[in-house]
Structure 1
Amino acid sequence: MTVTERPLAEAKRQAALDHVLTAARRFVIENSLDATMDQLAEASGVSRRTLFRLFGTREKLIASGFRTAMDAYLRELPAYEGGTEHWLRATCEAAHRMNDSIGPGYWELASRSELPPDLAAVQADLLHQWHSRISEITQTLWQASGGGQDPPAKLVTTVSAHLSSHFTAAVVTDARRDWQTASALAYEAILTTLRQLTA
């Protein structure tokens, strides 16, 4: 195999893996964490045998799908480049737009207490990554607004609650509004709290 053939083969393999992970994750999110390998194979357009060869177990496939999704989610949240209010608005919009695509499979993963080891590990990892990102967002807001070293707990709580997928779900499901409304409410609540704390 030549040098040019190897990267092409690797690129094709990665594209196939990405397709399988996306399709499997979408099926689980829209249906249930209890999706079978047969269902995941049909959803991804490959054989059950191929899925086992690639991932070993159903749980590893689902866990890989969720890990890939969280990586993509975190990449979609905008980096701070100045303009605190503009950045906060863009962050709220990105978070709530993505939160709006969450379905039953995600809520099962987030709320179940008894999970197989691979899924329990991804559940803990997703929560840890989310808390780390909330901490970064809050720290950036606080320091960009002239606050001290550590942001107050009230700001951390306000940012965490208002960027949460639970907040999006409450606005969309309970209030029968859309993710744009959730984004606007989150922006106003976070900005108001920030101004009160830095006044």
Structure 2
Amino acid sequence: MVTTPDERTKQDDPHTALAEEQKNAVRKHILRIARSVGASRGMNLRMEDVAEAAGVSRRTLFRYFGTRTELIRQTFEDGIAEYARRIPAPAVGESPREWLYRAVRASHSLNSHIGRLWWDLASAVDSDDSEGLHNLFNAQARGDIIRTFLMNSWQIYGGAGEPPEWLFAAYGIHMSAFSTQILTGDYEYDIEQATETTAKVLECLVVMAIKESGA
């Protein structure tokens, strides 16, 4: 891609770079506050609530995000990115079981602190924009993160090629916030007990799937 002289001038201009840095800082601040507000209000999150909590005007909020739907979308995507960063990848020299327990523990810990916005999106709470946002939740929360986790598990346990689709579905169920809620709520497990239960199930499933695949 060729960079034009005007674009190079903008990139090299320290004032432009500073302005862009400040803009990104404000955006990150608003998203952090929106995640906090969304954790308590869910899909009832209002622009004025976020603006007040963030210490900015509604005009500023709309200038950065355009619509309430876009604010919720970016807030959710920001939360998902943070969630994904905190699920550890296998470390050099780490046994499959050690990594699996560590990753499952991180997932259950994160799930135990998920706020109302996550639950509303997972449950497709009715609103004018809930369908699109629910599809986003399915694609990213139940899709990308679980698939990355599954592929790490599949490969570290010795699987070759692609894992079967049923294994993806099984991992999605056992790594979900709903599973964490059932284990820690209905069964009154602590995070360590939930981790041990889930990790044993996932290990059995991936080992069985690898045997069936002939890998």
TM over 0.5: yes
TM-score bracket for this pair, using the shorter chain length: 0.7 to 0.9
Q: TM-score, with normalisation over the residues of structure 1?
A: 0.84
Q: Which runs of 4+ in 1 moved over 6 A?
A: none
Alignment match, 1:38: 48
- Is the alpha carbon distance of 1:109 and 1:76 closer, same or farther for their aligned partners in structure 2, counting shifts above 3 Å? same
How far the C-alpha of 1:196 sits from its partner, in A, is: 4.5
Q: Sequence identity of aligned pairs in percent?
A: 29
Are 1:97 and 1:180, in contact at CA under 8 Å, matched by a contact in 2? no
Task: Determine if the alignment matches structure 1 residue 12 to structure 2 residue 22.
Answer: yes
Task: Determine if the alignment matches structure 1 residue 68 to structure 2 residue 68.
Answer: no
Count of matched residue pairs: 198
> 1:4-52 CA distances to partner (integer Å, 9 max, x unpaired)?
3332222221111111011112111222311222212122221222212
Alignment match, 1:182: 194
Secondary structure of 1:176's aligned partner: coil
Alignment match, 2:134: 123
Are 2:146 and 2:168, in contact at CA under 8 Å, matched by a contact in 1? yes
How far the C-alpha of 1:180 sits from its partner, in A, is: 3.6
- Write the distance in 2 (CA, Å) between the matches of 1:174 and 1:32: 23
- Within the candidate set 166, 176, 184, 1:164 is matched to 176
How far the C-alpha of 1:132 sits from its partner, in A, is: 3.2
Quick one: which amino acid aligns to residue 95 of structure 1? S
Alignment match, 1:77: 87
5+ residue gaps, structure 2 = 1-9
Secondary structure of 1:31's aligned partner: helix
Secondary structure of 1:32's aligned partner: helix
> 1:47-85 CA distances to partner (integer Å, 9 max, x unpaired)?
222212221222211111011111221222222345322
RMSD: 2.5
